[in-house]
Amino acid sequence: MLYIFMGPGCSGKSTAADRIRERIGAEVFSGNDYLRLAKNEEEAWRLFHDRLVHAASKDSSEKTILYLVTEPDQLDRVLNIKDVRKVRFSACFDVIKERFSRRMNGRMPEPVEKMLAKQYAQWESIQGDFHVDTTGSPDPDDIADALGF
């Protein structure tokens, strides 16, 4: 089974993925993690894409793969895969800024805030098969349950 967890940074994708990994042993890839599969980007992507296609196939008995996508162009690269389940994560912008600020030891440089605002706006029009709003910081177990894990 293949799930694409997609949405802006600090929207809860990694937290949910970590809980699901604990529960079922899913493999989790984030962003450009696939680059470690080969020495050059093109070969690494080919290997990774093949792995994603295989995981998505209905007759695959391999581990579930969760691919965490923060940039819409990363999503564009996997839209051709059949039987993938896309889960869009979101939270209100103020919550995302607060979470990101904590990652940066409490200070948010203006260029980073602008980057977050742009990324947030890009995701607003993108739909998934499922939607998880983490504005209220739901328990990761509740998210995993809601997604059927």
Tens of pLDDT, residue by residue over 32-60, are: 999 999 999 999 999 999 999 999 987 76
With a CB cutoff of 8 Å and minimum separation 6, the contacts of 68 are 5, 6, 13, 14, 17, 28, 29, 30, 31
Q: What is the pTM of this model?
A: 0.92
Hey, where are the domains in the chain? Answer: 2-146
Share of the chain above pLDDT 90, in %: 87
Name the fold adopted by 2-146: Rossmann fold (3.40.50)
Amino acid 104 reads M
Q: How far is CA 70 from the centre of its chain?
A: 6
